[in-house]
Structure 1
Amino acid sequence: MANRVVITGLGAVTPIGIGKDKFWKGLLAGKSGIGKITRFDATDFKAQIAAEVKDFESDDFIDKKKARRMDRYTQFAIAATKLAFEDAAIDLVKEDKDRIGVFIGTGIGGIETMHEQYKVILEKGPNRVSPFCVPMMIANMATGQTSITFDLHGPSCCPITACATGTNAIGDAMRVIERGEADVMVAGGTEACISPLPVAGFASMKALCTDMNDNPEKASRPFDKNRSGFIMGEGAGIVILESLEHALARGAEIYAEVGGYASTSDAYHITSPDPEARQPARCFTLAVKDAGLQMEDIDYINAHGTSTQLNEKTETAAIKKAFGVHAYKLSVSSIKSMIGHLLGAAGGIECIATALAVKHDIMPATINLDTPDEELDLDYVPNVSRKKIINAAISDSLGFGGHNAAILLKKFK
């Protein structure tokens, strides 16, 4: 029989606050973390706004010398992991570290390091490139550095599935514990790519919002008729997963049980979702089946909800296809309205929001939903957070390349 898996620690580094409590308080208040880009001069860019992490000091979490040898995305991962371990009240001195693993994914990796070192090679020549360039830049280093920092020797992996990355990392880590290969897993996603090339590239493909540069807090509008593109975000969302037996043995607080997980592929297009929504719908169905529940048991969906025309049409269609008439009884919301799109970190931070929703029976709102879209007719929890008994919820993520992933969390009983 598979081990039951529970969430016992939450680590959040986000545009609306660092730490679980600040993040959750900001969500419930409908706080926007979107503003003018400060990471670089975006004056000549079509998109000039983003959701940056404010007041992050790597020295608060990492030795200063070591931090200088890490890209910002890796710093975020280690900071969020430290916060998650503290929240879980795990004494690592007493743990068997061979039984603790790390699955942290990223969509892009150390792009800031790449920019900096290309500038060096162009201005000063190849012999001046930092010897730390490659280990700072490569996408697996958030997992590697986290394992090193906390001396963890269990299963180690870096999933990369674009915007589905964080959800895949948590789901795959769940399977490791279910199989009995680890007692504890550090899982989630991290991203720090508010830098010139990604912003210019996403804008060129018309994925970013470019018509709200003077009104950034209203720019991310999931499910709104006037939505016009996503907002780049950054940060990290890390959860501590444990086998139920391990968590109970140490008297841990449990936020939620990870009841189900599924992953499918559209196999349709490199960036556009399949308008028939067959595979995201099947992903919902498989996650519910994996949890041993019925579709009618789901109370809330923390949606991918990117604030793009195509995503919301497809995601709504998938929900209707999977849940039938029950789609009109469940509630759906997108926290990207407040924190933007954290790309590879989105699934991690949205899993945290979903766990807190299940724990506290309250759903964060979709802010800026001011003009209903007649094609989108579900309950999207507009503008104000709302109380609701949540026994089971799904956090879903949809990524470029056709990646679909869904995690089902249920109230621990």
Structure 2
Amino acid sequence: MRRTVVVTGAGVISALGCAPAEVHHALTTGRRAGAIADFDPQAHFGARNARPLDRLAQFVAAAAGLALADGGCSPEHRRDRPVGLVLGTMFAGVRTICAFDRRALELGPEYASPLDFANTVLNAPAGQAAIWHNLRGPNATIAAGVASGLQAIAYASELIASGAADAVLAGGADERAPETLDALARAGLLGREDAPAVPYATDRDGFTLGEAAAFVLLEAAEAARERGARVRATIAGHSAGHARARDERIDHRVVSAVCRAALDEAHAASTDIDAVSAAGSGSVDVDACEARALDLLFGDRAQPVPLIAVKAGLGETLGASGPLQLMAAMEAARSGCLPGVAGLESTDINVTHVDIRQEARPLRVNTTLIDAIGWDGHCCAIVIDTAANDA
């Protein structure tokens, strides 16, 4: 028998704050920031030696620690019961990887840093965070482009639902490294540098790169009840797929089908969805594809579905984006306020069944669809239910 999976904690390191409520307030007031400028390792790690952790691993370990603390998952609890960790990332510690290679190529192999070498593999941040927080359950790293973080949550949910784990930290992280900026610019994916990108805007020409780490603590519902944990949301359904067609365009029909499969697993009709926490980033093609997919999905609604676009405030945070979207949905449910799309003055998105607007609005949110779509075709969808949460 499959087990019910619930969210009992959340933690975030971002340019708009280090608490979900703080990030939500920034989004509802239209604040926008991409780079993390004031991260203080000592504030999160105290006197412990964080030198073996590179910058991204520090983000991951800090966000994981915040999620554990928010969920009341103490070191004593983790000592008695294994907690897993699943991290989604697109580039992992690319800054460290490139620095390690560059030093060895330019100065010679004898100058390659053994300390940096441990951080040059994709799963290093997940391993470092598990060691740091004594997480002895399953440990995995998911690499699925922009969809990595949301897929990590879906995979962790499956581990718990199937009985393979009782509790798993799940989320994603990526940093704004010079090498990432250069690669995305060469690929023609970044927008203009003089202003932050606005999802769904008429004049959008690419996204603004952000950075963040974000985790949720997932548990089997009975395990959460047993230890008296607060329930923030229930993972009601999830699905994933690949939507890039042979002509290299993203097929909106596949994206819509992935979202439909998540709704079906959640036993939810399109009319049951109160809001969508969407993947819009400022990408010309992906934003349009997503809007068409949602318009198709919600075509039987009498009223258009309201939309949240967290990337309007935080930029494209790659592996962290899906978990941030899920947190935004939980905070909208808690506060009764749905953030708008910051900076949106006009849109060329011609849809009937999706409500895209600049202003924040009061809204009662019980059931939310979260979607993640990458320009490479990876897509994922999760449905959460917050109607019976304890927040």
Conserved? CA contact 2:367–2:387, under 8 Å: no
The 1:89/1:98 distance shift into structure 2, 3 A limit, reads closer
Measured in 2, the distance between the counterparts of 1:253 and 1:122 equals 51
Task: Say which of 135, 155, 159 aligns to 2:118.
Answer: 135
* 3-state secondary structure, aligned to 1:154: coil
Q: Does 1:401 align with 2:379?
A: no
Conserved? CA contact 2:276–2:307, under 8 Å: yes
The alpha carbon displacement at 1:92 in A equals: 2.9
1:106-142 Cα offsets, whole Å, 9 max, x none, are 1101111123223422442211110123321211112
Task: Say which of 250, 268, 272 aligns to 1:293.
Answer: 268
Conserved? CA contact 2:3–2:162, under 8 Å: yes
Count how many residue pairs are aligned between Structure 1 and Structure 2.
Answer: 388
Q: Give the aligned partner of residue 26 of structure 1.
A: 26
Q: Give the aligned partner of residue 37 of structure 1.
A: none
Measured in 2, the distance between the counterparts of 1:280 and 1:359 equals 28
Q: Give the aligned partner of residue 252 of structure 1.
A: 229
Q: What value does the CA root-mean-square deviation take over the aligned residues? A: 1.9
Measured in 2, the distance between the counterparts of 1:402 and 1:166 equals 15
Letter in 1 for 2:148: T
Letter in 2 for 1:23: V
Measured in 2, the distance between the counterparts of 1:330 and 1:186 equals 30
Conserved? CA contact 1:170–1:187, under 8 Å: yes
Task: Say which of 36, 39, 42 aligns to 1:53.
Answer: 36
* 3-state secondary structure, aligned to 1:163: coil
The alpha carbon displacement at 1:309 in A equals: 1.2
Q: Give the aligned partner of residue 233 of structure 1.
A: 210
Question: Percent identity at matched positions?
Answer: 27
1:132-166 Cα offsets, whole Å, 9 max, x none, are 23321211112111111111111111011010000
Measured in 2, the distance between the counterparts of 1:245 and 1:96 equals 19
The 1:205/1:135 distance shift into structure 2, 3 A limit, reads same
**Unaligned ranges ≥5, structure 1:** 34-50
Conserved? CA contact 1:97–1:151, under 8 Å: no
* 3-state secondary structure, aligned to 1:99: coil
Q: Does 1:209 align with 2:191?
A: yes
**Unaligned ranges ≥5, structure 2:** none
> Superposition pairs for residues 147-158 of structure 1, below 5 Å?
147-158=130-141
| TM-score (norm. length: structure 2) | 0.94
The 1:106/1:63 distance shift into structure 2, 3 A limit, reads farther
Conserved? CA contact 2:20–2:331, under 8 Å: no
* 3-state secondary structure, aligned to 1:136: coil
Letter in 1 for 2:220: S
Measured in 2, the distance between the counterparts of 1:144 and 1:384 equals 41
* 3-state secondary structure, aligned to 1:132: helix
> Superposition pairs for residues 60-75 of structure 1, below 5 Å?
60-62=43-45, 66-75=49-58
Task: Say which of 69, 86, 92 aligns to 1:86.
Answer: 69
1:3-34 Cα offsets, whole Å, 9 max, x none, are 1111111101111112223212212221111x
Conserved? CA contact 2:20–2:328, under 8 Å: no
Measured in 2, the distance between the counterparts of 1:306 and 1:394 equals 17
Q: Does 1:172 align with 2:147?
A: no
Measured in 2, the distance between the counterparts of 1:150 and 1:374 equals 45
1:344-391 Cα offsets, whole Å, 9 max, x none, are 111121111112122333211111110132524554442222111112
Letter in 2 for 1:304: A
| TM-score (norm. length: structure 1) | 0.89
* 3-state secondary structure, aligned to 1:292: coil
Letter in 1 for 2:180: P
The alpha carbon displacement at 1:78 in A equals: 0.5
> Superposition pairs for residues 265-280 of structure 1, below 5 Å?
265-268=242-245, 272-274=248-250, 276-280=251-255
Q: Does 1:387 align with 2:334?
A: no
The alpha carbon displacement at 1:207 in A equals: 0.8
Conserved? CA contact 1:228–1:308, under 8 Å: yes
Q: Does 1:17 align with 2:37?
A: no
Letter in 1 for 2:140: C
